[in-house]
Amino acid sequence: MKSITLSELKDKTLGKVGTPKRDKYEQELRVEILAEQIKQLRIERNLTQEQLGELVGVQRAQISKMENNTGNVTVATLMKIFGALKVKVTFEIEKEQFELT
């Protein structure tokens, strides 16, 4: 039986990095990981979704949707959530080659 790496499997099923389908998958994965990290931080801080929502100024349902990656959230709300959870957030921007076509 031939083994295959995860990267090779992604290339085969989703396309190479840079293709629309692969890029969408990678972006959704990053959002899902972020949502899970927020949920874990909330639990570590012994906060309910309702309590976090009150600190941020949103309904519990919005916190739930965000944690389950089923709703959209603004960057401003994300920053409020991170502030309420007392965590430092850093963003890394990586430039890719750009060509005007």
One-letter amino acid identity for 69?
N
**Model confidence at 3: pLDDT above 80:** yes
Token pair in block for residue 31 = 């959002």
Q: What is the mean pLDDT of residues 19-25?
A: 76
Mean per-residue pLDDT of the chain: 85
In this predicted model, which residue has the larger pLDDT, 60 or 95? 60
pLDDT tens per residue across span 48-92:
999 999 999 999 999 999 898 887 888 888 899 999 999 988 877
23 vs 39: CA distance, rounded Å: 25
pLDDT at 62: 92
Q: Are 50 and 60 in contact (CB under 8 A)?
A: yes
User: What domains does the chain contain, in order, with CATH numbers?
Assistant: 15-84 (1.10.260.40)
Which residues, at least 6 apart from 85, have a Cβ–Cβ distance to it below 8 Å?
Answer: 38, 41, 42, 45, 47, 52
Token pair for 23: 């890029």
